Amino acid sequence: MNHAFPCGTLCLDFVGTLRARRNEAPLEKLATPGLVDDWFVESGMLDLAPGASESDVTLAVQLRESVYELVAARLDGRVLPVEAVDEVNLHAAGLPVTLRLGPDGVMRSGSVAQGLAELARETVRLVGGDEAALLRECARPECTQVYLDRSRGHRREWCAMRTCGNRVKAANYRARQSAAQA
């Protein structure tokens, strides 16, 4: 599996395909058509790889960055950037993923453009709706993952406990141990 889905919503997991965003050399998880195909299948949005092209990679990255700009604006309490709004709205107007009922249940298929349209629509609902108040960025300094804090009390600190939470807690434990020994 090439991708992670810790955020509670696919559009935020999609934003997380650029890992360590503020680092000098962030890790691009949508660098090739194959990685774009993998993201749509691993996310469960499509059952079959859509057959991404190099131009689809460019479109996916542009949409991802527009979604991030909108989410960052909501996190900071800023006005939504017009270019990012236009980009998301353009994609949101696209055709939906095709659903078919078959002997084994629901089958989801479509192109990269259809998958991006679904992500854009989800972004519109999230950024423009009440759940925008639940947006948080992971507290681990090296992580820039954004997630929805649906925890009781809304005090969740990390995108995922098994990764970032464990790293922070282990680092804090090691720091306490070395301070006690000093």
Calculate the alpha carbon distances from 161 to 6, 21, 164 in Å: 9, 20, 6
pLDDT of 175: 67
Classify 20 as helix, strand or coil: coil
Residue 14 neighbours by CB under 8 Å, 6+ apart: 39, 43, 63, 64, 67, 119
Q: Which pTM was predicted?
A: 0.86
| Nearest of 131, 95, 138, 89 to residue 114 by alpha carbon | 95
Classify 173 as helix, strand or coil: helix
Tens digit of each residue's pLDDT (9 = 90 or more) over 133-145: 999 888 777 777 8
Tens digit of each residue's pLDDT (9 = 90 or more) over 93-115: 999 999 999 898 999 999 999 99
pLDDT greater at residue 140 or residue 131: 131
- Per-residue pLDDT, averaged over 156-164, amounts to 67
pLDDT of 158: 67
**Is the CATH code 1.10.3300.10 the one for domain 10-132?**
yes
Domain positions in the chain: 10-132
| Nearest of 39, 34, 38 to residue 16 by alpha carbon | 39
